[in-house]
Structure 1
Amino acid sequence: MTSTTPRLIVADLVWTGTGDALEPGVVEISDGRISAVSPLRGARPAGPDVADLGASLLMPGLVNTHAHTPMSLMRGVAQGHSLLCMEGYLEVLRTREAHLTPDLVPASVAVSCADFIRHGVTAFADQYFYADDIAPTVMRSGLRAAIGWGIVELGDDDARARELAEATRFAESMAGVSRVVRGWVGPHAYFVDNQVEAMRAERDLARRLGVGLHVHFSTSGEEDALCQEAYGRPALEVMAEMGMLDVPTILAHCNTVPVDQLPLLAGTRAAMAVIPSVAMQSGVPAAPVRAALDAGVTVTLGSDNVCNNTNVDLFEEMRMLGKLAAFTSRSPNNVSPREILGIATVNGHRALDGGADDGLIAVGAVADLIAVPLAEIPRGPVGAQSLEAALVYGVSGASVSHSMVDGRWLMTDRVVRTLDVEAALIQQQADYDTLVARTAGAPADGRWL
């Protein structure tokens, strides 16, 4: 494979996401987008601008619509706790984040981005503090991303002004810098730690800059309880009246969103980002995926942070989504494999405000693609299992061999080409040791508390 930006990709099997599977197939790429897709007829093309993946499946890359890349610095620290309630959030995370500084961010972002690339994620939505120190590493990784500056104000006027100013400056600074990385706004949680005054300002900022909002929502029902007390109606009704759903919005988790409120999301620019593994680990209800799909809501898939969900394998999350939906509904195939793949690809790009065909292998779509060796897709005897079912229920992200974003290879033959992963891991350990020492022996600066 001689070109980092091939003109043609050939594979024995091409899953387009449109219902077609080409055996074999050829995909042509021009300026980061797919310019042609066709079955292979005649001899296999060759040359320096041709990538022949041989006995592999080529498919659209997966989209992780809820992540916190710097938090790989604290991988696993929340084991045994729920971060989906304020008590666990404050006890486990905020006590550590009080000692976090920008210099401890880049290495862990690199580790997270490498994890994404290795597991077939080609685009993601991030939300955290210090976005200035996240963005350069993400751009170096080559991944497509929407990076939201995390805002926590807890009703403090000074904190609100400071965080909104920083979020504004960051989003403005990212305009036009990269065609695959954008600056968004990341309110941590509406009504809970972003008050109505902040929400209005965040909405107006997103409208003015043409960017999106990325917020935790309905993790444990706190928003609905607060809104019922203050306004006499559920949170989504208040949000709709405020125009919070009129800009691209990722609502992360949605475990306890009232089913009768889901139609309020249909036809809006808001998407539900569900994380089945975190719901199970945290002991909270499963997000109502089937009901949301039936209501016309855009449902997407995320990994959340790795403090409790200790991996970012969206193939595993797809599998968990299907199994959890069947288990909680007592209905086999409650969400079909084809629907689940759409949730992890096309719907993810839609949530990131992408084009209509992004997430498909179709003319005009972004060339964000991954490959899996056919030998690692357990389909069984010919005709026994659909390809979609084999991908959702049998493939691991660790099986991904190649990853491409915007027509450029980020990983070939299971080697990440855009980041020095070994150096990042060494630096991350040093950063963690620094954080532990600070937490044990130094007072917090109070910024995040």
Structure 2
Amino acid sequence: MPTTLLLNAMIVCLGEGDAIYDQGYIAVENDRIAAIGDMKSAPDANTFDEVIDCTGRLIMPGLVNAHTHTPMTLFRGLAEGVSLLTLDGWMTAIRSLEEVMTADMVPAAVEVACAEMIRTGTTTFADQYFFMEEIIPVVEKSGMRAALAYGIVELGDPIARERELAQLEAFLETIGSLESDRLQGWVGPHAFFVDNSPEMMQAERRIAAKYNTGMHIHISTTGEEDALTQEQYGTSAVTQMKKMGMLDAPIIAAHAITIPEADWPTLAEHEFTAVAAASACMRAGAEAAPVLGMHNAGINIAIGTDNVCNNNDYDLFLEMRMLAKLTSFREKRPGALKARDILAMATAGGAKALGLADEIGSLEVGKRADLIVLDRTGIGWTPLPTNDPFTALVYSVNGSAVTDSMVSGRWLLRDRQWTTLDYASAVKRQREDVLRLLALREEAENA
């Protein structure tokens, strides 16, 4: 059983009691945290396979990016000035690219996305897209933890419905057969009522129940769902979802910008997570999500970057800062959300969304050894006696401070170098792929 001992670090546990060790240690055995505490009680280093001096470093739980579309790194820079939070914007800027995108373009794009997330502190992510046969091997190779949702756009087409449902079940069977427990399979309706019909929604609900999994959706980006359900059923989208049994499954709901306040208590009673993506919201010119109100109502909140056409990066430290500031701006008062609450959303909130609250999201004995190491000797940390670590992590530093990343006791990043991925090769292949993609789009437009 491999063992690792990390010594002399500031350790921010983010668990019950908010333990912080100014000079602490973490002992890892196999894939779990075996011990954690003050250096005064550190075990004998000679009994460990690997011993790392973390002087000048901070160790904290790995971040959870709760909403991504990893293949879309291929489209970065190709949707500027367009809101991708509307169906019209998506169809205008992205659909023409997706229609000519080929499966062999996906691996490099996903590898770039995983590399960027690892390099900036994310150890777990929730993805929703197509081409899952190509995505799964890359994520598996990366060593990251992920909830992969097969993305579905059906638009009420019966033929598309049958095809997508068959592919969804095949995907869930495939991911369920993997030896690794780091990858989960989820159902990924792009948006209830908007591009997934009620008939499709019912089928998706049945499949989620069959495979004991959840659904990763977009909701209330502009209020389209509520307009449609008010017209058809005379109710809000959430009320209709409850009537249809859609809330019986765990739901990861990206954006949640316009959910009526009257629906918050209903969502708080279910396994529903609202994923705040502040940068995407701001770039799209949308409203700021009522994160503080939903949080106070008891709804689980997580943080996501969304796709990199809408952001355009995977740095969850920057996303935490953006959400903290945007919430204060929306609420017209400073510190509307405490830095500690923001950190919880980026760690424990994401873990809860994925059903992994007992496994990740905090540094505690018995939990998986999913952790990141940050350099505290760079800019933004000082003065060390007075700059509270919670505040520093949210408002002062960014993902470039991350030096090391571990998932289940395995290093994915050591001394700022990837150990599982070849970033340079992936970037080269991605460049070739995007040039081919643009040529295919031009050919299609001229046909």
Q: CA distance change for structure 1 residues 144 and 237 in 2, over 3 Å: closer, same or farther?
A: same
TM normalised by structure 1 equals: 0.95
What's the counterpart of residue 115 of structure 2?
Answer: 114
CA deviations over 1:3-42 (Å, ceiling 9, x no partner): 9x64322242000003111121121223312222111116
What's the counterpart of residue 136 of structure 2?
Answer: 135
Deviates more, 1:29-38 or 1:164-173: 29-38
Q: Does 1:27 align with 2:26?
A: yes
Q: What is the correspondence of 1:258-407 to structure 2 with a 5 Å cutoff?
A: 258-356=260-358, 358-376=360-378, 378-407=380-409
Q: What is the correspondence of 1:1-40 to structure 2 with a 5 Å cutoff?
A: 6-18=3-15, 19-40=18-39
Identity of counterpart residues, as a percentage?
A: 43
User: Aligned AA for 2:27?
Assistant: E
Q: CA distance change for structure 1 residues 179 and 61 in 2, over 3 Å: closer, same or farther?
A: same
Deviation at 1:49, TM superposition (A): 2.3
Deviation at 1:357, TM superposition (A): 5.6
Q: What is the correspondence of 1:40-439 to structure 2 with a 5 Å cutoff?
A: 40-41=39-40, 45=45, 48-177=49-178, 178-356=180-358, 358-376=360-378, 378-439=380-441
Asked if 2 retains the 8 angstrom alpha-carbon contact of 1:346 and 1:357, the reply is no
Asked if 2 retains the 8 angstrom alpha-carbon contact of 1:15 and 1:58, the reply is yes
Asked if 1 retains the 8 angstrom alpha-carbon contact of 2:381 and 2:397, the reply is no
Deviation at 1:121, TM superposition (A): 0.3
User: Aligned AA for 2:51?
Assistant: V
Deviation at 1:207, TM superposition (A): 1.0
State the alpha-carbon separation in 2 of the partners of residues 421 and 289 from structure 1.
35
Q: CA distance change for structure 1 residues 45 and 267 in 2, over 3 Å: closer, same or farther?
A: farther
Task: Provide structure 1 residue ranges, at least 5 long, that are not aligned to the other structure.
Answer: none
Q: CA distance change for structure 1 residues 204 and 186 in 2, over 3 Å: closer, same or farther?
A: same
CA deviations over 1:34-89 (Å, ceiling 9, x no partner): 22211111677355322332220000010001000100001121110000111111
Asked if 1 retains the 8 angstrom alpha-carbon contact of 2:176 and 2:184, the reply is yes
State the alpha-carbon separation in 2 of the partners of residues 176 and 351 from structure 1.
22
Q: What secondary structure is seen at the aligned counterpart in 2 of 1:25?
A: strand
Deviates more, 1:199-208 or 1:121-130: 199-208
Deviation at 1:382, TM superposition (A): 4.7
CA deviations over 1:224-251 (Å, ceiling 9, x no partner): 0001111111001111222212222100
User: Aligned AA for 1:32?
Assistant: D
Q: CA distance change for structure 1 residues 155 and 42 in 2, over 3 Å: closer, same or farther?
A: closer
Deviates more, 1:106-115 or 1:249-258: 249-258
Deviation at 1:260, TM superposition (A): 2.1
User: Aligned AA for 2:45?
Assistant: P
Deviation at 1:261, TM superposition (A): 1.2
TM normalised by structure 2 equals: 0.96
Q: What secondary structure is seen at the aligned counterpart in 1 of 2:274?
A: strand
State the alpha-carbon separation in 1 of the partners of residues 174 and 422 from structure 2.
26
State the alpha-carbon separation in 2 of the partners of residues 275 and 103 from structure 1.
29
CA deviations over 1:91-150 (Å, ceiling 9, x no partner): 101011000111110000000000000000000000001111101000000000011111
Asked if 1 retains the 8 angstrom alpha-carbon contact of 2:348 and 2:357, the reply is no
Q: CA distance change for structure 1 residues 372 and 222 in 2, over 3 Å: closer, same or farther?
A: same
Deviation at 1:395, TM superposition (A): 1.0
Q: CA distance change for structure 1 residues 324 and 268 in 2, over 3 Å: closer, same or farther?
A: same
Asked if 2 retains the 8 angstrom alpha-carbon contact of 1:76 and 1:309, the reply is no
